[in-house]
């Protein structure tokens, strides 16, 4: 994994063709996601997968060149090392940004299953084109590798499919959930919970004091005294006349 080999693979026509297709597809997906509000989970996670394929390619190149440098064959003086390092950091940061946006709209189990399948498929394709991983392999080993990927995809799908979804908390009481609740459209039936149930919502268990609550109000004492004094003065005035 020297700087010369990485540069030669980077400018090879299979990888340049792959990069052209990936850039066009990434720009189209980004346009539909930003401008057309295409918030489908496949669109978002496909953007993550395309960025992840470049992360895989650059991480392998940077790690290989660092290992050779530690072993004594210095590779840090090649400009391709720093180009790969910058691409690695940038693609990783944008992946995290898109995953954060997806986690705000979809369940984590769905993101894990779909994202794993898309990212693994695109990363294997990019690695096979850039590093020529399948050159020299026979058909049996390639088929076994593909079968292993399918089994892994199926396992992830089955694990995340049976995950229970958390029910959101509702800060109100549904009318249908009240024990003993009668239907509002029933004839002659009052919409009131049954008192024999375990809970009673607003039911009046004792109505003996209802007359005291709604008893008519009496006039204040001061008003009665004022009226009696006025009548006494009128009587004295008539006697004098």
Phi–psi pair at 237, nearest 5 degrees: -65, -40
Q: Which residue has the tokens 């997968």?
A: 49
d(CA 224, CA 220): 7
**Around 189, how many Cα atoms within 13 Å sit in the side-chain half-sphere?**
12
241 residues of the chain, pLDDT tens digit each: 888 899 999 889 989 999 999 999 999 999 998 888 888 888 999 999 999 999 999 999 999 999 999 998 888 889 999 999 999 999 999 999 999 999 998 888 889 888 999 999 999 999 889 988 888 888 999 899 999 999 998 988 888 776 555 555 555 555 555 555 555 555 545 444 544 544 444 444 555 554 554 555 555 545 444 555 555 565 565 666 5
- Smallest CA-to-CA distance from 89 within 115, 70, 62 is with 62
Start-to-end C-alpha separation, the chain: 132
Burial of residue 189 (number of CB atoms within 10 Å: 0-12, 13-18, 19+): exposed
> For the whole model, what pTM was predicted?
0.63
């Amino acid at each position: 994994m020297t700087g010369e080999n990485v540069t030669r693979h980077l400018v090879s026509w299979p990888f340049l063709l792959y990069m052209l297709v990936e850039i066009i597809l990434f720009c189209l997906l980004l346009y539909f996601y930003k401008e057309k509000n295409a918030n489908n989970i496949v669109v978002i996670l496909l953007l993550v997968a395309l960025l992840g394929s470049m992360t895989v390619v650059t991480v392998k190149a940077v790690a290989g060149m660092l290992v050779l440098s530690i072993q004594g064959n210095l590779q840090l003086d090649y400009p391709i090392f720093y180009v790969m390092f910058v691409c690695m950091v940038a693609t990783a940061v944008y992946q995290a940004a898109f995953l954060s946006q997806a986690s705000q709209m979809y369940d984590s189990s769905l993101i894990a299953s779909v994202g794993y399948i898309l990212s693994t498929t695109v990363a294997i394709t990019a690695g096979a084109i850039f590093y020529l991983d399948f050159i020299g392999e026979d058909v049996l080993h390639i088929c076994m590798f593909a079968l292993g990927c399918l089994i892994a995809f199926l396992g992830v799908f089955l694990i995340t499919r049976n995950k229970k979804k958390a029910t959101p908390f509702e800060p109100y009481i549904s009318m249908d959930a009240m024990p003993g609740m009668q239907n509002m459209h029933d004839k002659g039936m009052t919409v009131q919970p049954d008192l024999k149930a375990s809970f009673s919502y607003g039911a009046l268990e004792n109505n003996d004091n209802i007359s005291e609550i709604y008893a008519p109000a009496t006039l204040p004492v001061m008003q009665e005294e004022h009226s009696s004094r006025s009548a006494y003065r009128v009587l004295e005035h008539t006697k004098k006349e």
